[in-house]
Amino acid sequence: MVQPAPGIIRSQVNLRRVGAYVLLALTALAFGFLLATQLRTQLLVPGNRVARTEALVRTVQDLESTNSAYRAQIASLRGQIDGLEAQAAQRSEATQRLRDDVATLRAHAGLTPMRGPGVTVDLGNGRPGAGATDYLVNFQDIQDVVNLLFAGGAEGVAVNGRRISPMSSFSGPAGTVVIDQGNPLYAPFQVVAVGNRSQMEQLLGDAASLGGLRNRQRAFGLALSFQGSPDLSLPAYDSTLESSFAQPS
């Protein structure tokens, strides 16, 4: 077996050492590069976090500013809506008051039917006496009764089913009653009034009221009676009766 020369052995050993040194150097270089990269990465991360945090803070501030503007706009719109609703409510209340006033005026004018508590007054002719027509119920008697009922709180009155208006007139010869130029009415008469029942009953029961009619009641036996009721009805005024006798030329 041939042994290598001592010089060759030393060369191989030196070569191995050099290779080891080179490998070690490369390993150290690579490790240093990795370490530097790692340190650089660790140093950059906090900076990125700060930037992201600042960006988030700015975004939140922008959103808060936008929301504040929206809240102010919403508050303004709510104020406008409240104002409009208040105006609408006032107009509605005013409109309702006007409607109520119109309804009241129409009722007092007799233009609408009416129903409620009230009284019924019945009048009839008496027996003939010394006076030629004193025993007959006349238009003045009916007019006096109607005026008394209105004075006692009547809201509406009808005579023999014919509604009386504030402009109604009474006329006619003895024993005949003509209302608003309508057809003549004859006894017996029934006057129906809706309104303050107790006050009307009090006036009708007062012996001092309707003096002339009560005197003729005692002298000629004219029929005069009244009765209260919790529920009476009146028709609407019939305007077609205004021109029954006269026509414009």
Kindly report, residue by residue over 161-218, the tens digit of the pLDDT. 999 988 899 999 988 999 988 899 999 999 999 999 999 999 999 989 998 999 999 9
What pLDDT is stored for residue 32 in this prediction? 59
Q: Write the DSSP assignment of 151-168 as a string of letters.
A: HTTEEEEEETTEE--TT-
Rounded-to-integer distance, Cα 84 and Cα 82, Å: 5
pTM of the model: 0.59
Helices 197-205, 139-151: inter-axial angle, 10-degree rounding: 130
Tokens of 232: 């009476």
Average of per-residue pLDDT across 11-40? 57
Q: Which residues contact 229 (CB under 8 A, 6 or more apart)?
A: 117, 118, 119, 120, 197
Q: Residue 234 carries which side chain, given as an amino acid letter?
A: L
Residue 142 has pLDDT above 90, yes or no: yes
Asked whether the predicted pLDDT for residue 125 surpasses 50, the reply is yes
Confidence of residue 37 (pLDDT cuts 50, 70, 90): low
- Render the burial of 147-159: b for 16+ CB within 10 Å, e for the rest: ebbbebbbbbbbb
Pairwise CA distance, residues 193 & 121, whole Å: 8
Q: What's the rounded mean pLDDT across residues 220-225?
A: 93
Distance CA 149, CA 119 (A): 9
| DSSP H stretches of helix in 116-210 | 139-151, 197-205
Least confidently predicted of 17-31, 97-111, 205-219, 233-247:
17-31
User: Which pLDDT score is estimated for 44?
Assistant: 46
195 Ramachandran zone, left/alpha/beta (phi>0; psi -120 to 50) = left
Cα→Cα distances 33→26, 44, 45, 46, 84, Å: 10, 16, 18, 21, 75
CA distance 150 to 136: 24
